[in-house]
Amino acid sequence: MSADAPGRPGPAVPDLRPLLSPATVAVIGGTSRESGLGARTLRHLRDARFGGEVLTPGPRDGLDRDVDVALLCVPAAAAQEVLDRIDGRAAFAVVFASGFEETGGGSLTTIRGTVVLGPNTVGLYHAPDRALLTFAQAFDSLVDCRHGSGAFLVSQSGAFGARVVTAAARYGLHLDGFIGSGNEVHLDACTLARGVLDAAEPRVLMLYLEGVRDAGALQALLADAERRGVPVVCLLGGLSEAGSTAAASHTAAVSADAAVTRELFEAYGAALAGSDRELVLAGLGLSLMGRAAGRRAGIVTGSGGAGVVAADLLSGAGLEVPVLSAGLRERLMAHLPDIASPRNPVDVTAQTIGDDATLGKVCTTLRESGEVDLVVVIGREDQAAAAGAHAGAVPPTAVAVLDREPADVRPRIEGGEVVLPDLDSACRVLASCAPPRWSGTAGPRPVAADPGRAGSPGSLGSDPTASESLRLVAGAGVAVAGWGAAATAAEVTALGDDLGWPVVLKSDVAAGVHKARAGGVRLDVTAANAPEAAAELLASGVPLIVARQLRTSMELFAGVRRDPQWGLVVSAGLGGAHVELLDRTVAMPAALGAEHFARRLAAELFGRVPGRYGGLAAGLAEAAFALAGLAGRTGAALVECNPLGVVDGRIVALDARVVR
């Protein structure tokens, strides 16, 4: 195994070449009955014409020579005993049996260097080496080992992953390889995927993860893939809303796990699929066509209605459907009847769509125009040549037919033509080829340090009060509006005279208490009404904070929560009393760094009106990461400022909460 480079978290990466390309395989157990796991695995190896040596020692015999892979086809109760006998003789042991940690049982161990895949795995498949190291019936139809797609799937669920492999084959996408990680005694799915990047050098990496088990391993994988230029598409199960760290926390509300995970994937140019079908279609598109130069889509159709639907589907997938220039429309109309519409969608009319010669001229003109980066042609399955819809086409081009099954168009895809059985499939395939939304904003990022995981954080003995929270935030480097503490109405008046009226009065309660919802805040307090407002709040027995009420041009928000998986998560955006309803925030793991956070804030918020909000994205990111540093030093579970006011171009905290 090779060690990680400095600053890149995650387990050491194994050399998977002996696993994917074994010269010697031992099938141990399960061979006496035709339905046994060993017998089924041997049948796969035989039918696939595996070229390596296959041994079948008895479960009690051990190994008298070294092998690359030992496949343990024995029951769970015997697995550890057999593993002990082969430990050190097999580079890898694939344990099929279930009944370990997933049912409350114990784990498997080795001490002499054998690396365990599984247990509770269906094994693996590497088509270039005809290595069907699996008992799964799903692979009965894949023993011909067609390959060359450059697509490889790593799945935490073996059975589900096997179904994805066979579903891809129905579309004509024959995966080069597949590994099911199972219970992950030694090799988690992300570390396996990093090994695949080394050993198999795929063109596209497909993942199915049943939740994020190790954030560091996932981030290390995404960083590796980005560095190598390998697109990653992942179907991720187990996403749920983040639980609140403290009562009524804005930060928890706007930084749900799904949003944070999506930000991590997009930061590294990877994509999250919404279903197994999307996973297959994205793998197909990236395998056949690779990345497009941009996100502008052109549509050629003989039906106005189909063109409208295609535009909606492409826009919904995050692509642009631009109106074509006057010059390009004129060049297109030179090939079309007067009733055609060349704006985009390019409606060539029903009488023209069947004319392959004319269709070819239109598609060539559109594709060579430089005004679109992807093209979908709504036509017949035999029009791929006319449309230029073939593997490696620039720009990527797909033909969508409206009334076919995947099996009907599979031969076209296997022949290198990009023909999809329905409009939705074609649009999803093209969308998968679009470059990541944040590509070009920065080069590949090293895995950054999480301020919440560095060093030994201090400890807050109890929840700080609101005034203590303000002091902590100011000490972290965030500007705070002028304020003072008062225990009497006279002190309130004196502070108001000093700070300048009007002021805000707040009960100095523990930061875990939401002051406004508890009735502990008064706005627009003047010298005239200060005694009455102060007396009303002081009746609770809690001292007050008197803060200058600033006139702000904008209210912002920044917060940090400590997540058991991601470490510190930063959130920022538009703020105020209804930050959750505004939904104009960005949330991401702090490990991605302040510079990336500033770019995302600019893209999502401040860059929408060019030149108007210059500097606010960087300033808000700086404030958010100052809070992250505070959380890292103190061990706080939550730090947030809401609102942050923009005063004469400066970002100033008007309130703060630090929760133990």
Provide the pLDDT for residue 512: 64
Look up residue 171 and give its two tokens.
């579309």
Instruction: For the chain, list residues with pLDDT below 70.
Output: 1-11, 102-104, 239-256, 438-459, 512-519, 577-580, 582
Structure confidence by residue, pLDDT tens digits, 497-534:
999 999 999 999 887 666 555 568 999 999 999 999 99
Strand partners for 652: 645
Q: What is the pLDDT of residue 212?
A: 84
Q: 3-state class of 528 per DSSP? A: coil
pLDDT digits (tens, 9 = 90+) for 538-577: 998 999 999 999 999 999 999 999 988 889 999 999 887 6
Measured distance between the N- and C-terminal CA atoms of the chain, rounded to whole angstroms = 40
DSSP 260-286: HHHHHHHHTT-EEESSHHHHHHHHHHH
Mapped to the 3 state alphabet, what secondary structure does 138-165 carry?
Answer: HHHHHCCCCCCCCEEEEECCHHHHHHHH
CATH 3.40.50.261 corresponds to the domain 287-433:
yes
CATH code 3.30.470.20 region(s) in the chain: 554-659
pTM for the complete prediction? 0.88
Identify the pLDDT of residue 7.
37
Give the pairing type, strands 204-210 and 271-273. Answer: unpaired
pLDDT of residue 463: 81
What is the rounded distance in angstroms from the CA atom of residue 606 to the CA atom of residue 572? 12
The whole-angstrom separation of Cα 466 and Cα 556 is 19
| Three-class secondary structure of residue 108 per DSSP | coil
Give me the architecture of the 482-548 domain, per CATH: 2-Layer Sandwich (3.30)
What is 554-659's CATH number, 3.40.640.10, 1.20.210.10, 3.40.710.10, 3.30.470.20?
A: 3.30.470.20
Q: Looking at the domain 17-230, which fold is it?
A: Rossmann fold (3.40.50)
- 130: alpha, beta or left, given left = phi > 0 and alpha = psi -120 to 50? left
123 Cα distance to chain centroid: 25
What pLDDT, on the 0 to 100 scale, is given for residue 612?
Answer: 79
Query: What pLDDT is attached to residue 515?
Result: 59
What confidence score (pLDDT) does residue 336 get? 96
CATH 3.40.50.261 boundaries in the chain: 287-433
Round to whole Å and give the CA distance between 206 and 280: 8
pLDDT tens per residue, range 408-435? 999 999 999 999 999 999 999 999 999 9
